[in-house]
Amino acid sequence: MRDVAVIGIGCTPFGEHWGASFRNLFIQAGALALEDAGLSGEQIDALYVGNMSAGRFIEQEHIGALIADYSGMATRHIPATRVEAACASGGLSFRQAVIAVASGMEDVVVAAGVEKMTDVGTGTSVDTLAGAADREWEGLVGATFPGLYAMIATDYMHRYPLTREQLAMVAVKNHFNGARNPIAQFRQEITVETVLRSPLVADPLRLFDCSPITDGAAAVVVAPLDRAREFTDRFVKVRASAQASDTISLHDRADISRLDATVAAGRWALSDAGLSHRDIDLVEVHDCFTIAEICAIEDLGFCRKGEAGRLTEEGVTALDGDLPVNTSGGLKACGHPVGATGIKQICEVVQQLRGEAGKRQVPGAEIGMTHNVGGTGATVAVHILEVV
């Protein structure tokens, strides 16, 4: 297998884009990534697009072909493939591109993610997202994603020492970081009071415990590491790529407060890379709800179960802490266009490793991790990236 590098990144602003279509969003992100890599479209050999549900959000299927066509690549007949794994579609799109290049099958590959969620109302969005859970056993009895993660939060808070205030501090931290990220959907700092006074969505989760509904796209270009310098000197090595799965229903898990697919993918990524937790300088985790960040930090093995709330309160996960978590603002503040999130996480870590993250730069960052979750943990992708 060949070593792989990320040679270009591009991301649209995340938010409500009434004036841009699904395909426009992709083209914007793709063009930024190609420009960043110093490439033209003719140099791309293959395309992977992470997308969860264009069929329900914009009534469009056949996304690989659509994107190849509107990117001007259809007449060159390059392979263009949609990758779907709910909110982990982006992470898996990146992994497919890495596998294609590592195997020697392709050389220069775009991995992207795109979702246009705001053209439908909140009800349809929430119902569409519920399709990432088990429709027969969870969706049909009314379980939504805020509802499922509220069950995780309730169970967790019953068993471990996590206060409501500590949960709110996850959102406060991520809004602080988002306020320093030009692409973030929410760029205002908030306080614990803001979270605690916001409307209840699914007890104990309030509005500011939730990621929002978002439009956006992100794209990266990957190439063989030994050819990266032909294109740019601002490349980053892909040190590990891991993917794991679990039961789709929460009620089929032995422990609903532990995401075993996160545990497995995190372990595999670190062992494939030959690294330990102490080597990781920053991590982008899948904080679709504040409780999800707490679980992710623990399930990835950065601390023991029950400790992440205290670490958040002590500032360990803050921008200037020992383990900065979600420097982009996370899904909470940056926004969560589901198919694009996993690629945006890669873009953020690459920016940090290139020292280009501006006001949210982690000084001297050399190794970063991303953690992208589909559903309540039925699919997890973990990647480790490193400065060469």
* Residues designated as active site: 87, 336
Using alpha carbons only, what angle is made at residue 23 by residues 228 and 242, rounded to the nearest 5 degrees?
45
Residue 58 in tokens = 């914009």
Of positions 95, 234, 336, 360, contacts ligand COA by CB under 6 A: 336
Pick the stretch among 66-74, 96-104, 203-211, 270-278 that binds ligand COA (CB under 6 A): 203-211
Instruction: Decide: is 201 part of the binding site for ligand COA (CB under 6 A).
Output: yes
CB 330 within 8 A of CB 282: no
Burial of 42 (0-12, 13-18, 19+ CB in 10 A): exposed
CB of 208 to ligand COA, least distance (A): 5
How many positions of this chain bind ligand COA (CB under 6 A)?
Answer: 16
CB of 361 to ligand COA, least distance (A): 25
- Distance between CA atoms of residues 214 and 288, nearest Å: 12
CB of 103 to ligand COA, least distance (A): 31
Instruction: Decide: is 169 part of the binding site for ligand COA (CB under 6 A).
Output: no
Binding mask 249-288 for ligand COA (x = CB under 6 A): ---------------------------------------x
Instruction: Decide: is 207 part of the binding site for ligand COA (CB under 6 A).
Output: yes
CB of 83 to ligand COA, least distance (A): 17
91-130: which residues touch ligand COA (CB under 6 A)?
A: 122, 126, 129
Would you say 87 or 384 has its CB closer to ligand COA? 87
- Considering only CA atoms, give the Rg of the chain: 19
Instruction: Decide: is 146 part of the binding site for ligand COA (CB under 6 A).
Output: yes
Instruction: Decide: is 212 part of the binding site for ligand COA (CB under 6 A).
Output: yes
Of positions 208, 231, 235, 302, contacts ligand COA by CB under 6 A: 208
CB of 201 to ligand COA, least distance (A): 5
Calculate the CA 206 to chain-centre distance. Answer: 21
Would you say 210 or 273 has its CB closer to ligand COA? 210
Q: Which of 59, 101, 54, 61 is nearest to 79 (CA)?
A: 101
Instruction: Decide: is 145 part of the binding site for ligand COA (CB under 6 A).
Output: yes
- Distance between CA atoms of residues 113 and 159, nearest Å: 36
DSSP, residue by residue, 292-331: HHHHHHHHTTSS-TT-HHHHHHTTTTSTTSSS-B-TT-HH
CB 181 within 8 A of CB 334: yes
Residue 113 in tokens = 């993610």
Name the helix (H) or strand (E) containing 290.
Answer: helix 290-299
Positions that interact with ligand COA (CB under 6 A):
87, 122, 126, 129, 145-146, 186, 201, 207-208, 210-213, 288, 336
